[in-house]
Amino acid sequence: MALRKENILLVDDDLDILELLQRHLQSMDYHIFKAVSVKQALYILKDTFIDLLITDIQMPEVDGLQLVRFADEHYPDIPKLVITGYPSVNGALEVFKSGATDYLTKPFTKDELKQAVDKSLKGKIRKDAPKALTIPHKGKGYAEMIGSSPAFQKITDIIDRVKDNKATVLIKGESGTGKELVARAIHYSGTFSRASFIPVNCGAIPENLLEAELFGYIKGAFTGANENRNGFFQAAEGGTLFLDEIGTAPLSVQTKLLRAIQEKEITKIGSRKVEKVDIRIIAATNSNLQEAIAQNEFREDLYYRLTVVEINVPPLRDRKQDIPLLVEKFVQKYGIEYKDRLMGISPDALQILQRYHWPGNIRELENLIQRAVIMSDGIIKVKDLPDHLKFQIDFPDTEFLPLKEMEKEYAKKVLAHVDGNKTKAAEILQIDRKTLREKLK
């Protein structure tokens, strides 16, 4: 009889159970793949189209529930049938919580196995295809920012206090946390919003050009200075100059910055004329300026001039309460931009986003949502997310085992590879069947 198209992956470290399951399922015309460990199962899942995963729970190194959880996120279309010899209410809840579609209690009959397999395959639907999640608007928008966490509220409270004056502000935070958005919120929410907001990335301008770009120069001041030119300070007159990555500014520029902030005046390169400026300075850094001061890489007096008001922007991992709101914002933004319609996200996909630690912070989240919108069809599902966000199995370091145990484990793998044929396995191992039986005891 021709084999049916359904491929079933059996995972169990007990070779007798594997052989029994294989015989039963092959008699039902299924095509069988076998693995004696979770690690071996992952190799098969990666390279083979599988219609149903059947796994035991109790296995060495990594248990079957971790395999089910991994398959649930990386292969959401595959139903998972768990075999357990320890049935309990709590155990069943844990099985289903891990992503299993059904479970079978040992010992079981061939008919019970058939019913469980039929039920799992008939119920093979996209687990990840619910209606799009509706995220309630419990957050507060502030300028281009949005959030509902206490950390977000603390930031907006400080913005409310500084937006209408020209006190110097230093914004601290990791890369990607939205420091420039905070600076823009201060400027555009306050009294001086009609004036210019000039952002300058100090780290992106070569050291020998930064002074000229900030303060301007006169004709003939240096080679290539063919005309008088204003700098960013003059361009921001009456408004806000945002100095991003201030920690990268060379000491020579720091000295002139200190005077500009202190005296509200600047001098162009090559000129002796002092010019008054009326601007607000907002600086930002993702580095530890206190350490830079200790290493004589940043002026201590400039640091204190910059920190009249200090705002610490927390990393996204410390404000996970804001993730659903940020996701909704980006999904809507890029859904309209790329698909010309509103998009949604499934609860399972959102759960994974909330679980991730986000080393790249909000910038990483936004870039990921951009990609997911492009790759999805109306609703962002688990399959549209990159693998590194999904559940990963951490295999323990290989322990040093007695030689007999190592021989036994290797013999089991070879036997599984040849579908339980002890004669073939003995040939591969270059031992006789009797010796093979002894090694498997």
DSSP 271-316: ---EEE---EEEEEESS-HHHHHHTTSS-HHHHHHHTTEEEE---G
pLDDT of 14: 86
Longest Cα–Cα distance in the chain: 100
pLDDT of 1: 43
Residue 176 near residue 360, CB atoms below 8 Å: yes
pLDDT of 399: 59
φ and ψ at residue 302, rounded to 5 degrees:
-65, -40
Between CA 425 and CA 429 the distance in angstroms is 6
Question: Is the bond into 107 cis (omega within 30 degrees of 0)?
Answer: yes
Residue 43 near residue 65, CB atoms below 8 Å: no
Residue 398 near residue 410, CB atoms below 8 Å: no
pLDDT of 107: 85
Residue 19 near residue 47, CB atoms below 8 Å: no
Residue 362 near residue 144, CB atoms below 8 Å: no
Strand partners, 11: 35, 55
pLDDT of 300: 97
What parts of the chain have a pLDDT lower than 70?
1-4, 86-91, 124-139, 397-401
Beta-carbon contacts of 200 under 8 Å, excluding residues fewer than 6 positions away, are: 213, 214, 232, 241, 242, 243, 244
Q: Which domains does the chain have, with CATH numbers?
A: 150-316 (3.40.50.300)
pLDDT of 406: 73
Residue 217 near residue 225, CB atoms below 8 Å: yes
Residue 71 near residue 112, CB atoms below 8 Å: no
Closest CA to 382 of 343, 349, 356, 351: 349
Distances in Å between the alpha carbon of 69 and those of 53, 94, 156? 12, 11, 39
Between CA 380 and CA 353 the distance in angstroms is 11
pLDDT of 179: 97
Closest CA to 183 of 342, 311, 337: 311
Q: State the chain's mean pLDDT as an integer.
A: 88
Amino acid identity for residue 85 in this structure = G
Distances in Å between the alpha carbon of 246 and those of 265, 302, 303, 322? 19, 11, 10, 28
Q: Are strands 145-147 and 265-267 parallel, antiparallel or unpaired?
A: unpaired
Determine the Cα angle at 361 with ends 355 and 365, to 5°.
70
Residue 133 near residue 345, CB atoms below 8 Å: yes
Between CA 22 and CA 28 the distance in angstroms is 10
